[in-house]
Amino acid sequence: MKATVYVTIKENVLDPQGNAVQGSLHTMGFDEVGKVRIGKYMELDLDTNDRAHAEERIKAMCEKLLANTVIEDYRFELEG
């Protein structure tokens, strides 16, 4: 089973990396770019076929390691 995890910075938290990318894009002439937010995208192979169990485990991984839930949100998809 394959899990895809998306970790994004919460809406009300500053994203300095996003601001830096926005500034660079403007400098390069991409003036139409407004807000930029940068997050993480993770693909994990899981050695299980039990979807309910996999959901529970991925949730635990996100809460404990993959996301900092004070400043980040996460969501995930399972396939296979």
Site mask for a copy of itself (CB under 8 A), range 25-64, x = bound: x--x-x-xxxxxxxxxxxxxxxxx--------x--xx--x
Instruction: Compute the CA torsion angle 76, 36, 64, 79 (nearest 10 deg).
Output: 10
Distance, in Å, from the CA atom of 36 to the CA atom of 43, rounded to the nearest integer, reads 23
**Least Å distance between CB 10 and a copy of itself?**
13
What are the residues whose beta carbons fall under 8 Å from the beta carbon of 77, sequence distance 6 or more?
3, 4
| Residues in binding contact with a copy of itself, number by CB under 8 A | 32
**Least Å distance between CB 38 and a copy of itself?**
5
**Least Å distance between CB 29 and a copy of itself?**
9
